């Protein structure tokens, strides 16, 4: 038996950096949405990328170079003719970058790109790029819907060198509503990570459950638990960002659907079981891995009361029936070693956490149990988890939930590709 313990100083970023060593040229043009490019730069830097910001002249009216320099550690480039850098900067930039991104892309920038112009460093760099360029337009709906802009978009689409992210419908800077609002930085980030095809999650199907389940007592009351869904949603978001095809079966929660994730909303344990069975397919053939992160209620009423229960002055006794053990039932359908099965175990006592997790692993017939304490997990942005497999366990330090998700996904991926994980 091996016992590995991650150092308390180890962050998930050290463990898994989806853009480690990759170079991204982030071209920023003159829109109010330019400030969001700073957020994208930050996401990319955190993911391990070397980010070189290229600013159009007008973008500097919106965000100063110091902001980008502070985030990326490199001063943004702006001028096509730059005595300091010399050479053909646009050619070098395009050749050295693993991804070229334009965010935000103005109507004017799209017009120049559509006609193949190269009159500033942004357009010249894009024209030199040999791969797909990720473009996130941002403009007032009247500019976006204008026939000239639409013609440019069609032309660029036809040329086949642009991956569009957005725009979306919503409120724009002026307070008006319509299509033209830039996609959020997380969406652009997801497109970049996918384009970089950074790991073997590409094309793998992952089924994740998240959140609480709710059992109705009567039309106004229910039995539930303290799960918020944050851990399961973090798993879904991280897996989708790494290129997996993710289906998320979620109990009631206010959390927004992560980008590029197929979400199925359910309420009760029985609904969750039905949704997972359907998504997993016959003999679980429809998924490569299943991560059961939802806090499924163990009990329900045989039949919810059709009308509100009223006070009787004598207290109330509810007879509860046990819910099915969803992961155990699904695991029993598995023929061989696929899909990889992961269960979460929440405990309130620290003693024998690993031992109890391993018993659960055997009882349920899964490959990994992620054990955590309710006080470290429920409703929190961070978590302290122990990954318990048949042969070993790894105690992670306190980490943000997306970082815990990365560790779990790394373990699952290693199983999927057949490399040795105990
Ligand atoms: C306050 C302000 C906001 C602007 N916002 C946008 C915008 O969101 N989208 C857009 O296409 N143009 C916008 N423009 C117009 C562009 O900045 C202008 O067309 C500029 O020439 C674009 O140059 P660039 O693409 O090289 O950055 C805005 C202009 C101003 C003054």
pLDDT in tens, 100-112: 999 999 999 999 9
pLDDT score at 304 = 92
Q: In this structure, what CATH number is given to the domain that contains residue 339?
A: 3.40.50.10300
> Does residue 139 sit in the same domain as residue 229?
no
Domain count, the chain: 2
Q: Whose CA is nearest to atom 4 of ligand 1?
A: 31
Same-domain status, 150 and 73: yes
Q: Is 29 in the pocket of ligand 1 (CB under 6 A)?
A: yes
Share of the chain above pLDDT 70, in %: 93
Examine the domain organization and report whether 155 and 217 are in the same domain. no
pTM of the model: 0.61
Same domain, 172 and 77: yes
9 within some domain:
no
pLDDT beyond 60 at 1 = no
Give the CA angle between residues 348, 352, 357 to the nearest 5°.
Answer: 80
Residue 367 lies in a domain: yes
Last residue of a domain, one of 196, 221, 243: 196
> pLDDT tens digits, residue range 184-220?
998 899 888 878 755 568 789 999 999 999 999 999 9
Residue with tokens 């122990």: 386
Q: Which of 30-34, 124-128, 236-240 has the lowest mean pLDDT?
A: 236-240
181 plus 271 within the same structural domain: no
Residue 229 lies in a domain: yes
- Looking at the fold, whether 228 and 182 belong to one and the same domain comes out as no
> Is residue 41 domain-shared with residue 85, that is, in the same domain?
yes
Cα distance between residue 295 and residue 210, in whole Å:
7
Is 262 near ligand 1, meaning CB less than 6 Å away? no
What does the pLDDT read at residue 416? 85
231 shares a domain with 190: no
Encode pLDDT of 239-294 as tens digits. Answer: 988 889 999 999 999 999 998 899 999 999 999 999 999 999 999 999 999 999 99
Which residue did the predictor score with more confidence, 140 or 377?
A: 140
Instruction: Give yes or no for residue 139 CB within 6 A of ligand 1.
Output: yes
What is the percentage of the chain residues whose pLDDT exceeds 90? 68
From the CB of 17, is ligand 1 less than 6 Å away? no
Mean pLDDT for the chain?
90
Residues 365 and 234 in one domain: yes
Is 4 a member of any domain?
no
Write down the pLDDT at residue 350.
79
User: Is 302 part of a structural domain of the chain?
Assistant: no
Backbone angles phi, psi at 133, to 5 degrees: -105, 130
Provide the residue range defining the domain that includes 341: 205-297+321-417
- Give the helix/strand (H/E) hosting 105: strand 99-105
List pLDDT tens digits, range 71-89.
999 999 999 987 676 679 9
**Does residue 376 sit in the same domain as residue 284?**
yes
CA distances from 149 to 110, 114, 163, 340, 349 (A): 7, 10, 16, 47, 61
So what's the pLDDT on residue 341?
Answer: 97
Ligand 1, atom 19: nearest CA belongs to which residue? 108
pLDDT at 6 over 80: no
Confidence of residue 374 (pLDDT cuts 50, 70, 90): confident
Residue 351 has pLDDT above 90, yes or no: no
Q: Is 149 in the pocket of ligand 1 (CB under 6 A)?
A: no
Q: Tell me the CATH number at 165.
A: 3.40.50.1950
Is 268 close to ligand 1, i.e. is its CB under 6 Å away? no
Residues 190 and 218 in one domain: no
Tell me if 189 is assigned to some domain: yes
Q: Please tell me the distance between residue 128's alpha carbon and the centre of ligand 1 in angstroms.
A: 23
What is the pLDDT, as a whole number, of residue 320? 95
Residue 412 predicted with pLDDT over 60: yes
Helix or strand (DSSP H, E) at 59: none
Q: Which of 169, 196, 223 is the last residue of a domain?
A: 196
DSSP-assigned letters across all residues of 90-156: HHHHHHH-SEEEEEEE-HHHHHHHHTT---SHHHHHHHH--S-EEEEE---HHHHSSHHHHHHHHHH
d(CA 202, CA 5): 29
3-state helix, strand, coil split of the chain in percent (to 5) is 35, 25, 40
Could you tell me the pLDDT band of residue 3, with boundaries at 50, 70 and 90? very low
Question: Residue 116 belongs to what H/E stretch?
Answer: none
Ligand 1 centroid vs 123 CA: distance in angstroms? 15
pLDDT at 199: 57
Asked if the structure places residue 10 within a domain, the reply is no
Top-confidence residue, 156 or 391 = 156
Does residue 307 belong to any structural domain of this protein? no
Q: Based on the domain organization, do 139 and 243 belong to the same domain?
A: no
Clarify whether 225 is annotated catalytic. yes
* Most ligand 1 atoms within 8 A of CB, residue of 59, 76, 77, 108 to mutate: 108
Domain end residue (candidates: 163, 196, 229): 196
């Amino acid at each position: 038996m091996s016992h590995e313990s991650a150092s308390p100083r180890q962050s998930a970023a050290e463990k898994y950096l989806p853009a480690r060593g990759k170079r991204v040229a982030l071209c920023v043009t003159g829109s109010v949405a330019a400030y969001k490019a700073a957020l994208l730069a930050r996401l990319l830097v955190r993911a391990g990328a070397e980010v070189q910001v290229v600013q159009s002249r007008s973008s500097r009216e919106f965000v100063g170079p110091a902001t980008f320099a502070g985030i990326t550690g490199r001063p943004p480039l702006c001028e096509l003719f730059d005595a300091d850098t010399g050479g053909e900067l646009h050619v070098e930039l395009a050749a050295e970058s693993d991804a070229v991104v334009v965010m935000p892309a103005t109507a004017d920038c799209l017009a120049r790109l559509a006609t193949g112009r190269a009159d500033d460093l942004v357009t010249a760099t894009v024209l030199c790029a040999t791969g797909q360029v990720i473009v996130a337009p941002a403009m007032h709906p009247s500019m976006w819907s204008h026939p000239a802009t639409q013609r440019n978009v069609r032309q660029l689409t036809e040329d086949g060198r642009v991956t569009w992210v957005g725009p979306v419908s919503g409120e724009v800077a002026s307070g008006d509503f319509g299509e033209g609002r830039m996609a959020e930085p997380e969406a652009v980030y997801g497109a970049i990570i996918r384009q970089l095809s950074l790991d073997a999650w590409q094309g793998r199907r992952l089924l994740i459950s998240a959140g609480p389940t709710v059992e109705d007592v009567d039309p106004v009351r229910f039995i539930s638990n303290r799960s918020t869904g944050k851990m399961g949603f973090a798993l879904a978001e991280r897996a989708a960002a790494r290129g997996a095809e993710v289906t998320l079966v979620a109990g009631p929660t206010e959390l927004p659907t992560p980008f590029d994730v197929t979400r199925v909303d359910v309420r009760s344990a029985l609904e969750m079981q039905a949704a997972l069975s359907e998504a997993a397919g016959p003999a679980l053939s429809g998924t490569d891995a299943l991560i059961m992160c939802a806090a499924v209620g163990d009990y329900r009423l045989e039949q919810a009361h059709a009308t509100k229960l009223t006070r009787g002055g004598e207290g109330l006794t509810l007879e509860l029936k046990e819910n099915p053990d969803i992961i155990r039932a699904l695991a029993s359908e598995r023929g061989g070693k696929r899909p990889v099965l992961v269960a979460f175990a929440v405990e309130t006592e620290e003693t024998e956490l690993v031992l109890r997790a391993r018993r659960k692993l055997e009882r349920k017939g899964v490959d990994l149990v992620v054990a955590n304490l309710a006080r470290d997990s429920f409703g929190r942005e961070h978590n302290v988890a122990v990954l318990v497999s048949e042969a070993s366990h790894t105690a992670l330090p306190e980490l943000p939930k997306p970082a815990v998700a990365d560790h779990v996904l790394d373990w699952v991926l290693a199983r999927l590709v057949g490399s040795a994980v105990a």
